[in-house]
Amino acid sequence: MTRKVSTQVVHSGEARRKPHGAITTPIVQSSTFTFENTAAVLAFMERKTARTAAREGGGDLSLRDEYGRYSNPTLTAAEGKLAALEGAEGAVLFATGMSAITTSMLALLSAGDHAIAVRDTYRRTREFASSFLPRYGVESTLVPIGDMDALAGAIQPNTRLIFCETPTNPYLRIMDLAAVAELAQGRDIVTMVDSTFATPINLHPLELGIDLAVHSATKYLGGHNDLLAGVVMGRNSLVTKIQEARGLLGGMGGPHDAYLLIRGLKTLPLRVRQQNESASRISEFLDAHPKVSRVFYPGLPSHPDHAVAVKQMSGFGGVVSFEVAADKAGTSRFIDALQIPYIGPTLGGVESIVQQQALFISLKAEDRRAAGISDSLVRYAVGIEDADDLIADLDQALAAV
């Protein structure tokens, strides 16, 4: 029986009967896991040796826990829940979203390979692809988002990875994932998408033909601004390679963060639906306000990728970006006049968080221009507060401009 998402986030990945009859999965705070006797060690090593063949044949990939850098029962439960939520065969949990991205790229690419990344990806991801990977013989090409001709033209005989992000930060551009998957089909190219802003509630990249979905679980998946984690999900033949690289490179997260992530995931549909609804209302309010010059939100018909968003997303997310009709100082006055959201660099939690994007990029005007960020750009990450209260707060703050 296929269960709906609200049931999956509560029950998937966790054992029905947990130790001591607890209803929640325990935090297994242990660096190592012992064996009863030598026979148990030998059985484990035989299964471990056969794991590669099982991976290639699509067989059972499970192993008991051995050492905390490789696996942990609490992390395994979180991975099972995440895989079910994304509709993936497997998931690999990391200490951070960046660790998930960088380890995956290192696991999938070798010297002499070529990768393509969409230019609008997170700046640290872009930096890793364009500045770090070439040190190890992997070249990369950056292409504009939405330009499928440029993407097709960038493919080389040695291209092995296409990486994109949707929605992007901060302009919330939307990549046509089905078109990306079609371009890669039959070319021995892995497609990978950072779907952090969308969440598995609003978008299912794997259903559109994408090979791997990655999330900064720090954001919406955790949902409470109290953990750091990242996750990559997809088919086992790819996921196991990434899992092995995690054990080698050491990007394993801790059991306490995994426990917090499990807890956060159980309310994910409720939170995201509230954030979708509030962000949609806020975008419409801002779009009609005389002191706002432009709004960037995929749910608005004015957004350049609105048609693509409608086609592939079930909700448009909880982030609204907009330009205040003011200079840098006037935009700062608006930010400081807000009374509900906190000023900060993250998103996806229950608290609304706002930032004047330019100030978080660089204090140098030339750097901001190079990044395509205007001094009046605001990114508003909507929390789960009442939408009427958030709109009233925005209205009074805009009066200060």
* Rama region for 64: left / alpha / beta (φ>0; ψ in -120 to 50; rest): beta
Beta strands 342-343 and 353-356 are: parallel
The residue annotated as part of the active site, out of 18, 47, 51, 69, is 69
Q: Which residues contact 354 (CB under 8 A, 6 or more apart)?
A: 335, 338, 341, 342, 343, 344, 378, 379, 380, 381
The residue annotated as part of the active site, out of 160, 219, 368, 379, is 219
Largest CA distance in the chain: 75
| C-beta separation of 315 from 298 below 8 A | no
R_g (Cα) of the chain, nearest Å: 22
Q: Is 123 a catalytic residue?
A: no
Q: Is 48 a catalytic residue?
A: no
Structure tokens at 27: 């935090």
DSSP state of 301: T
Listed in sequence order, the DSSP H helices in 93-146 are 97-108, 123-127
The residue annotated as part of the active site, out of 65, 70, 119, 122, is 122
Beta strands in 72-189 (DSSP E): 90-94, 114-118, 139-143, 159-165
Q: Is 368 a catalytic residue?
A: no
How many CA atoms does the CB half-sphere of 34 hold within 13 Å?
2
Q: Is 194 a catalytic residue?
A: yes
Strand order in the sheet with 342-343: 292-296, 319-324, 377-381, 353-356, 342-343
Catalytic residue IDs = 69, 122, 194, 219
